[in-house]
Amino acid sequence: MNGIPPDRFWAALDALVSTSAVVVDRPRGSRHPRVSVAVYPLDYGYLEGTVAGDGDGIDVWIGSIRPAAVTGVVCTVDSEKRDAEVKVLIGCTREEAGEILANAVIDLMRKVGMPNGLKAVGFGPQDVDQLVEGTLPQHRVTKLSPRPAAPEDLRRLFLDSMTLW
């Protein structure tokens, strides 16, 4: 097998990051150059002197933890473009990493043309009680939840899902 053994992956990634300059080319709050609705929630850039699959430097998200170390990796695959991208999370809190993952999911939903929330498919706040009532008996939904799902939890979930982005 070529490459890094799985038990050395994180140490090798830490070494790569610690020996590379981080270039921030899209600061927190800036807009994506081609997708103006996308706003960067954290500083975004690349590791200088590295090469990713697209030929540019390895992409990084920079969080608020200092000193900054590798806190995760996000890999996305676009089968239509036949492309895969890896982004290294550096110094990200759990909340910051969650925001990055949420943005990746939203980006995927946009790319595949998914409707923007329940409103886009004809539901409104007036339908929430009926949606909750219809969900409670569905054990494949309620029993797989990481914590018990009470009616108020489902109500909040549906209201928050009216518009996703």
Mean pLDDT for back-to-back runs of 10 residues, the chain (165 residues): 79 94 96 84 96 92 94 86 90 95 85 92 98 91 84 95 92
- pLDDT for the residue 76: 82
- pLDDT for the residue 22: 96
Please give the model's pTM, rounded to 2 decimal places.
0.74
- pLDDT for the residue 39: 86
Q: What is the spatial distance between Cα 96 and Cα 44, in angstroms, rounded to a whole number?
A: 12
- pLDDT for the residue 109: 86
Residue 94 is encoded by which pair of tokens? 């759990």
Residue 65 is encoded by which pair of tokens? 């933890």
Distances (CA, A) of 111 to 1, 34, 38, 42, 163: 35, 14, 13, 22, 16
- Are the beta carbons of 29 and 22 closer than 8 angstroms? no
